[in-house]
Amino acid sequence: MRPAPRWLKLGLAWTFGLLLLWQGWYVGWVVWWKWVDPGITSFQSQRLHELRQKNPQAELKRIWVPYEKISVQLKRAVIAAEDDRFIDHEGFDWEGMQKALEKNRRKGRVVAGGSTISQQLAKNLLLSPSRSVLRKGEEAIITLWLELLWDKPRILEVYLNEVEWGEGIFGAEAAARHYFGVSAGQLNAAQAARLAVMLPAPRRYEKNPYSAYINGRTQLILGRMADVEVPR
């Protein structure tokens, strides 16, 4: 059997080296953000660009607050609504993914995602909102690093401070002030549940946050919240 050509070996070596550098860039940010609160994320930068196409003076509404100053009700509500196995899984909820696939198959279109809080955070921090196979692969790798290098309170803290809650509205503090005129630490159970229900499509739901659908989902999440364990 003839040995592989030298050019092929060099090509494979360069490809492997570039992949290592690429992943090293992601890991570096994950390590840095373990200790330092993130600034504007990749996802937020894209949203800001979209806003400034309409209004060049547009700015995002985002105010960082530490984990202990975020209402425990909001933590419970978001876990209940988005990822009820958050405490137990290591980044991926395989059972939730299977249920989402079955639901999408029955509906004939994508109506459920099955992504965990950790996966959503990986996307928001470093990736685009596209749905390509490559982006999902990158998301999975970053999710593994987040779960390996951070604890659950840090993952939830950063998620709650960076997630989108409306047009140009990011994080629990900005959302609490915008929708209810209170701080993130003052949110009651009903307010927290309503905010959590908005997360799958915040820019659509903010147009009518008291619709029949939102009201019904809010009551459902309120009923689940008492059983939710919050990371400490």
Assign residue 191 the CATH number of its domain: 1.10.3810.10
Give Dmax (Cα) for the chain. 73
From the list 188, 230, 191, 232, the residue with the least C-alpha distance to 214 is 191
Domain annotation covers residue 49 = yes
pLDDT at 92: 83
Domain annotation covers residue 218 = yes
Domain annotation covers residue 15 = no
* Cα 193 versus chain centre, distance: 17
Domain annotation covers residue 4 = no
Domain annotation covers residue 230 = no
* Residue listed under structure tokens 């059983």: 227
Structural domain of 47:
25-53+66-225
pLDDT at 127: 84
Domain annotation covers residue 189 = yes
List of the chain residues with pLDDT < 50: 7-18, 20, 109-112
From the list 55, 57, 36, 49, the residue with the least C-alpha distance to 161 is 36
CA distances to 70, 112, 148, 172, 198 from 217, rounded to whole Å, are 22, 15, 33, 19, 9
pLDDT at 10: 43
176: left (phi over 0), alpha (psi -120 to 50) or beta: alpha
pLDDT at 14: 40
Find the Cα–Cα–Cα–Cα dihedral 85, 225, 214, 163, rounded to 10°.
Answer: -50
Domain annotation covers residue 35 = yes
Domain annotation covers residue 18 = no
pLDDT at 13: 43
Q: Reduced to 3 states, what is the DSSP secondary structure of residue 183?
A: coil
Domain count, the chain: 1
pLDDT at 136: 84
pLDDT at 104: 53
